[in-house]
Structure 1
Amino acid sequence: MKKLLLTLFTTLLSLAAFACPVCEKQQPKVLQGISHGAGPQSDWDYVLVWATMFVVVLCLFFSIKWLVRPGEKGSDHIKRTVLDF
Structure 2
Amino acid sequence: DGIAGLGEAPLAGALAAGSIGGTSAPLPDPPGFHPAQGDAYRACLGQGTHLVWGPPGTGKTTVLKRAIGDLIARGDRVLLVSATNIAV
Shorter-chain TM-score range: under 0.3
The structure number with the bigger radius of gyration is 1
Higher helix share: 1
Higher strand share: 2
* TM-score (norm: length of structure 2): 0.26
* TM-score (norm: length of structure 1): 0.27
